[in-house]
């Protein structure tokens, strides 16, 4: 796909996210909207995967540690062919395969159940270590939120990955500067963020999290000697002016009327 096609795909995914959340009446809007370019770059460029054979042994793995932004994951997976798009509107409903947080026994293609922040990082590290021990070529990707770094467990995983030289592991940090109660720098300052990862002996790449050229270049330039972290600077609620950079939309969903207006704004762009 060229850049224009990727941008069109991202726009359609954002429209799906808005419709899903408005229909469910519950969920997380800001982070789901801002991670879209990352998801598209993974599923339509970087990941070795097969929607018709989701348990393919040689596949790469994606762990969504920030499980609350799974509307973006579901919408992207539907575009990639894992399940019908019509199913997106069952998000968070009783007996739906699209649970409020990823559940790997509910939907093929979900590598790990997640939700408790920080834990997905350890799961991803374990997957990467197992593949390295088995001399497998698979790569493990893990999407983590910036606020998630308030959890001590994630730093243990970071330290362990560096010690074991897991060059088959890439963290992608959604650096949107918000969390549920405010901005990250008000709640628990993270800066100098990149230098923290550097101190733990990771390979650091910083990108504009909405620029496909930068994202894809970063995904193609992973270290061959140590774990890589891509610090993706994103705009919370990307695409909807009324939502952008507003931490109060972390766990808030649009009403039906707000969704209609949001879709109009996305189409206008």
What is the separation, in whole angstroms, between the first and last Cα of the chain?
Answer: 20
**Rounded Cα gap, residues 174 and 139, in angstroms:** 19
If one counts the domains in the chain, the total is: 1
190 touches 162 (CB < 8 A) = no
pLDDT tier for residue 97 given thresholds of 50, 70 and 90:
very high
Domain extent for 73: 3-268
pLDDT tier for residue 269 given thresholds of 50, 70 and 90:
confident
**Residue-by-residue DSSP string for 190-244:** --SHHHHHHHTT-EEEEEETT-HHHHHHHHTS--SSS-EEEEEE--TTTT-TTTT
Using a pLDDT cut of 70, give the percent of the chain over it.
100
pLDDT at 222 over 90: yes
CATH number, domain containing residue 27 = 3.40.50.970
Question: pLDDT of 122-175, one tens digit each?
Answer: 999 999 999 999 999 999 999 999 999 999 999 999 999 999 999 999 999 999
**Rounded CA Rg of the chain:** 17
H or E element, residue 143 = strand 140-145
Residue 29 burial by Cβ neighbours in a 10 Å radius (0-12, 13-18, 19+): buried
Phi first, then psi: give them for residue 234, nearest 5 degrees: -120, 165
pLDDT for residue 214: 98
For β-strands 61-64 and 140-145, DSSP reports them as: parallel
């Amino acid at each position: 796909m060229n850049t224009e096609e990727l941008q069109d795909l991202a726009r359609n995914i954002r429209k799906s996210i808005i419709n899903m959340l408005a229909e469910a009446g519950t969920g997380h809007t800001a982070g789901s909207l801002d991670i879209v370019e990352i998801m598209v770059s993974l599923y339509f460029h970087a990941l070795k995967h097969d929607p018709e054979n989701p348990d393919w042994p040689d596949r790469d793995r994606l762990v969504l540690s920030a499980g609350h932004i799974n509307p973006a994951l579901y919408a992207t997976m539907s575009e990639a062919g894992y399940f019908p798009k019509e199913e997106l509107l069952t998000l968070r409903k009783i007996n739906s395969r699209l649970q409020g947080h990823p559940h790997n026994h509910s939907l093929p293609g979900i590598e790990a159940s997640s939700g408790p922040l920080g834990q997905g990082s350890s799961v991803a590290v374990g997957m990467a270590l197992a593949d390295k021990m088995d001399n497998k070529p698979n790569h493990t990707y893990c999407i983590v939120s910036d606020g998630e770094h308030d959890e001590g467990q994630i730093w243990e995983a970071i330290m362990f990955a560096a010690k074991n030289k897991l060059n088959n592991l890439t963290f992608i940090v959604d650096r949107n500067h918000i969390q549920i109660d405010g901005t990250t720098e008000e709640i628990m300052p993270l800066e100098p963020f990149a230098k923290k990862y550097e101190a733990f002996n990771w390979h650091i790449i910083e990108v504009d999290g909405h620029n496909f050229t930068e994202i894809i270049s970063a995904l193609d330039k992973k270290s061959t000697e140590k774990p890589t972290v891509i610090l993706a600077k994103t705009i919370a609620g990307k695409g909807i002016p009324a939502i952008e950079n507003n931490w109060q939309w972390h766990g808030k969903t649009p009403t039906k009327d707000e969704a209609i207006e949001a879709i109009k704004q996305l189409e206008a762009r």
